[in-house]
């Protein structure tokens, strides 16, 4: 009888498109690390060859032993070429599933999710949706939008669970695919255990002098969705009233030259500093006066959560999705503010328009509200300290132990259901049933 079989720890595969720097890659690696620390057999599979994401020095070598690159190319290729590579990647992934005798596959982001869903139903599949789906689809090219939308539409019946890192993202997905409402779950991102330790690392003397209580900092790729152009415009209003205010941007990306030109046109090149991508951003975040997130959309912003963990007063656009769940958890995350909202754990400002005006154009309403929030927090040391203390308290709800308990509960629920139909360890079960 199957009830008498000894319980074995599940064998987990994690699939993601690329290990380029980004929130999804960081969470996939963090999940791998946490599972390995628990003694779970786990392996991470990458569809592309890019491995630019920094791994912690002390365990980077060990983690790489648990990472397999499935593809032959980097991520810098067309959507069509990526689509044509799916049969090859599918074959490699399914061989790994059989060879490693995986009990569960967890995939992150659209391309990895669709590839995983094409695999055998005999191995349960969990999808991890890391973005607000309606906003994410709107940002894609027409071809990519159709591939993702219709790929999910035809293949979602093969998923045992569809997981999200924010409740707002889950609600958005339910709007597009209402028949799968019973398969949705939410597990927020968690803070790495090494954030505080790494925040104590020194900075160069040149970088150190940029930071004081009047320094605003933002962290993220220099791409349109992060809204840095609107942030620079809003900062121009702050700078004209506060001669000590500075703005530091961490991150690299295709908009770097354009943003530097904008800083010159705003006559603020001596007050706005571009420090590029940093493998360890935490010493910079720790030293700033106020952390600002200006995104048009997010999934669940790791940088905002990490700034809160480091005790920083935070200001964020009330974008889709994540900031409101972090800063105002007792409110409806789908309802957005039209004015500065001094919420329980930080300041929310109206969502920014993706249409960025010329430097000489007057600030729009959302930019004005963002500027007013930055002025208010910089000018009021008591408010800034109170916001920082509350932010640190809120961040404690997202420690790795609590969030990993939720992942473990989900893993146990699905693998135990799968194992209930097995006649021997790692034998192939019948396709799991699913609620209609």
Percentage above 90 pLDDT, the chain: 74
What confidence score (pLDDT) does residue 61 get?
54
Q: Which CATH class is domain 2-190+399-419?
A: alpha beta
Please, which pLDDT band fits residue 23 given cuts at 50, 70 and 90? confident
Angle between helices 23-37 and 400-419 (to 10 degrees): 70
- H-type helices in 71-109, by residue range? 79-84, 86-99
pLDDT tens across 124-160, in order? 999 999 988 888 888 888 888 898 899 999 999 999 9
Q: Is 349 in contact with 338 (CB distance < 8 Å)?
A: no
pTM value?
A: 0.88
**How high is the mean pLDDT of the chain?**
90
Question: Which pair of structure tokens corresponds to residue 63?
Answer: 């983690």
Q: Which residues contact 336 (CB under 8 A, 6 or more apart)?
A: 318, 324, 350, 351
pLDDT tens across 156-180, in order? 999 999 999 999 999 999 999 999 9
How many CA atoms within 13 Å lie on the side-chain side of 207?
19
Report the C-alpha gap between 364 and 233 in whole angstroms: 10
Q: Is 344 in contact with 326 (CB distance < 8 Å)?
A: no
Q: Is 62 in contact with 38 (CB distance < 8 Å)?
A: no
Report the C-alpha gap between 399 and 195 in whole angstroms: 11
Residue 313 has pLDDT above 70, yes or no: yes
Q: Between these two residues, 374 and 54, which has the higher pLDDT value? A: 374
Please, which pLDDT band fits residue 90 given cuts at 50, 70 and 90? very high
Question: Which pair of structure tokens corresponds to residue 426?
Answer: 């790692």
pLDDT tens across 211-230, in order? 999 999 999 999 999 999 99
Q: Which CATH class is domain 195-397?
A: alpha beta
What confidence score (pLDDT) does residue 54 get?
56
Give the 3-state secondary structure of residue 177: coil
Query: Which pairing describes strands 41-46 and 161-164: parallel, antiparallel, or unpaired?
Result: unpaired
Q: Is 371 in contact with 237 (CB distance < 8 Å)?
A: yes
Q: What is the distance between the terminal CA atoms of the chain, rounded to a whole angstrom?
A: 29
Please, which pLDDT band fits residue 422 given cuts at 50, 70 and 90? very low
CA nearest 234: which of 21, 336, 136, 376? 376
Q: Using the structure block, give the residue that is written with the tokens 């803070």.
A: 191
pLDDT tens across 27-46, in order? 999 899 889 988 999 999 99
Q: What is the dihedral of CA 290, 294, 295, 301, to 10 degrees?
A: 10
pLDDT tens across 314-329, in order? 999 999 999 999 999 9
Please, which pLDDT band fits residue 419 given cuts at 50, 70 and 90? low
Residue 57 has pLDDT above 50, yes or no: no
pLDDT tens across 171-205, in order? 999 999 999 999 999 999 999 888 999 999 999 99
Residue 433 has pLDDT above 60, yes or no: no
Burial of residue 353 (CB within 10 Å: 0-12, 13-18, 19+) is middle
Please give the angle made by the CA atoms of 321, 174 and 221, to the nearest 5 degrees: 30
Question: Which pair of structure tokens corresponds to residue 14?
Answer: 């994690």
Chain region(s) in the chain for CATH 3.40.50.2000 = 2-190+399-419, 195-397
Report the C-alpha gap between 79 and 229 in whole angstroms: 27
What confidence score (pLDDT) does residue 418 get?
62
Residue 232 has pLDDT above 50, yes or no: yes
What confidence score (pLDDT) does residue 128 get?
95
| 85-104 average pLDDT score | 95
| 290-304 average pLDDT score | 95
Task: For the chain, give the number of residues.
Answer: 436
Question: Which pair of structure tokens corresponds to residue 151?
Answer: 């790929």
Q: Is 304 in contact with 23 (CB distance < 8 Å)?
A: no
Burial of residue 383 (CB within 10 Å: 0-12, 13-18, 19+) is middle
CA nearest 112: which of 96, 97, 129? 129
**Radius of gyration for the alpha carbons in the chain, expressed in angstroms and rounded:** 22
């Amino acid at each position: 009888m199957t009830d008498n079989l000894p319980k074995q720890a599940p064998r987990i595969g994690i699939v993601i498109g690329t290990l380029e720097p980004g929130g999804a890659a960081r969470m996939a690696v963090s999940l791998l690390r946490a599972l390995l620390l628990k003694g779970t057999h786990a392996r991470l599979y990458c569809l592309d060859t890019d491995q630019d994401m920094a791994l912690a020095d002390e365990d980077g070598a060990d983690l790489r032993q648990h990472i397999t690159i499935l593809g032959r190319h980097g991520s810098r290729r067309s959507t069509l070429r990526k689509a044509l590579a799916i049969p090859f990647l599918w074959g490699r992934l399914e061989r790994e599933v059989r060879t490693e005798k995986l009990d569960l596959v967890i995939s992150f982001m659209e391309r990895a999710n669709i590839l995983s869903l094409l695999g055998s139903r005999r191995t349960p599949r969990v999808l991890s949706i890391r973005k607000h789906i309606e906003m994410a689809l709107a940002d894609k090219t027409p071809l990519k939008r159709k591939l993702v939308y219709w790929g999910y539409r035809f293949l979602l019946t093969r998923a045992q669970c569809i997981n999200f890192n924010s409740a707002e993202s889950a609600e958005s997905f339910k709007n597009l695919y209402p028949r799968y409402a019973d398969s949705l779950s939410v597990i927020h991102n968690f803070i790495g255990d090494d954030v505080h330790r790494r925040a104590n690392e020194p900075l160069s003397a040149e970088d150190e002098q940029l930071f004081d209580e009047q320094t605003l900092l933002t962290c993220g790729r220099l791409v349109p969705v992060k809204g840095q152009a609107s942030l620079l415009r809003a900062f121009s209003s702050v700078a004209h009233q506060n001669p000590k205010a500075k703005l530091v941007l961490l991150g690299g990306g295709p908009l770097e030259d354009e943003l530097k030109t904008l800083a010159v046109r705003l006559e603020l090149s001596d007050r706005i500093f571009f420090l590029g991508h940093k493998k360890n951003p935490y010493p910079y975040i720790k030293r700033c006066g106020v952390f600002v997130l200006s995104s048009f959309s997010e999934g669940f912003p790791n940088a905002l959560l990490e700034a809160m963990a480091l005790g920083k007063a935070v200001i964020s656009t009330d974008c889709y999705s994540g900031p409101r769940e972090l800063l105002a958890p007792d409110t409806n995350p789908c309802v957005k503010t039209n004015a500065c909202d001094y919420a329980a754990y930080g300041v929310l400002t109206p969502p920014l328009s993706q249409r960025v005006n010329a430097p000489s154009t007057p600030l729009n309403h959302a930019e004005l509200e963002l500027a007013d929030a930055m002025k208010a927090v910089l000018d009021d040391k008591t408010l800034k300290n109170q916001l920082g203390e509350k932010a640190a308290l809120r961040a404690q709800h997202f420690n790795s132990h609590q969030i990993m308990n939720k992942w473990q509960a989900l893993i146990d629920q699905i693998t135990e259901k799968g194992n209930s139909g097995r006649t021997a360890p790692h034998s192939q079960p019948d396709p799991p049933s699913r609620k209609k």
